[in-house]
Amino acid sequence: MLITVKEANERLDKYLANNTDYSRSTIIKMLDGGFINVNNKQEKASYKVRENDIIEIKDGFKEETDIVPVKMDIDIVYEDEDLMVINKPSGLVVHPGSGNYDNTLVNGLMHYTNELSDINGEERPGIVHRIDKDTSGLLLVAKNNKAHAILTEYFKNHENIKREYIALLCGVFPHDSATIDAPIGRDPKDRKRMTVTADNSKEAITHMKVIKKYKEFTLVSCLLDTGRTHQIRVHMNYIGYPIYNDPVYNTKKATEFGQFLHSYKMDFIHPITKKEMHFESPLPKTFQDFIDSLDKDQI
């Protein structure tokens, strides 16, 4: 990973913590281990970055962790010897990180089975892709490295897999459908957020279709051509119709349930058997109950 510095006079470890998915403590370990160079040289964590510095983060770093199996109820929609399809509840983090090493889906999967791929290291066994903590719905898990590698290619090449989400938007969207083609990168004003930007961004395409319109809300389905961090949440906010109850991208106060965004449909070619697979997941009760309460206001 290469990063071109645009902000000066900030500590190297702090800058990277704000501009990557690594924690500050992990970055310090990577610096001590020689996995990070600045302008082709090793620097200390206290190094003050300068504009136009080139930071290289090398592959191969493995952090010792104390991730332990934790017994939990996992909603397994489908399982065979190669993969699982999980229905993740809102509020559950997919994999350990940022100090949370005990209460994630990975902890539950490790308790459930010893058969998980290890391509993504000790912290992400079986994890091919992820959805946000407060996004609910369908998630693929690989049980061996062969299936994992093939599924990763599906996601990388945007082929042989289709994911569809349901979201409740604030406001009445005036059209029946839309395609948002707008690149996404980290928000320079808040590094914990993503935003539509031309700087250090990646292509992001979301196809949105209206399901129902209410007096103050719109229920939509979203198909992804790409899989960027917070993609649907960022794109809906970008067009002026943020997802209801989103604590990050909506200015209104949110409840603990978080954004009303659900991964409800998944189609893919099985990586080993090549069989066409199709799965659907009903909306969480909190989401469905709120929709039901709006039915009287449908327009």
**CB-based contact 140:153 (threshold 8 Å):** no
Alpha helices in the chain (DSSP H): 12-19, 24-32, 105-112, 145-157, 231-238, 285-294
Known catalytic residue: 132? Answer: yes
**How many residues appear in the chain?**
299
Please name the residue that has the structure tokens 């079986």.
126
Q: Is the backbone of residue 40 left (phi > 0), alpha (psi -120 to 50) or beta?
A: left
How do the residues of the chain divide into helix, strand and coil, expressed in percent and rounded to 5?
20, 30, 50
Q: Which of 13, 53, 132, 134 is catalytic?
A: 132
Report which secondary-structure segment, H or E, holds 277: strand 276-280
Q: What amino acid occupies position 147?
A: A
Cα–Cα distance measured from residue 275 to residue 271, given in angstroms and rounded to the nearest whole number: 8
Give 94's DSSP letter. Answer: S
Give 297's DSSP letter. Answer: G
Q: Taking the CB of residue 129, how many other CB atoms lie within 10 A of it?
A: 16
Buried b (16+ CB within 10 A) or exposed e, 80-101: eebbbbbbbebebbbbbbeeeb
Cα–Cα distance measured from residue 215 to residue 299, given in angstroms and rounded to the nearest whole number: 7
Return the active site residues: 132
